[in-house]
Structure 1
């Protein structure tokens, strides 16, 4: 079984039976994984920490 990305495993995302929305979720997860990879992070919390640190620096 493949490990799900953090965006897909969030409780606030409601699963629907619609193939279109399922496809959208898969695409969104692919984009999130790509962003995480480029930033060399693994979780949403790491992203929040980066944003907070940059805001504090300005």
Structure 2
């Protein structure tokens, strides 16, 4: 789970083309499954951002 807690918006970009780019706005939450593979978080306006990442362990 990922939640954008500071900044206007970010784009999640798959490093392996596992999913299309996803734009996430302030206070929005998304779920990134482990199967999605590696990804980058890029600020859409170049300003600093903060995200909260949460994982569920077995």
> Rg bigger for which structure?
1
Common fold: TM-score over 0.5: no
TM bucket normalised to smaller: under 0.3
Higher strand share: 2
Structure ranking higher on relative contact order (CA contacts 8 Å, 6+ apart): 2
TM-score normalised by length of structure 1: 0.22
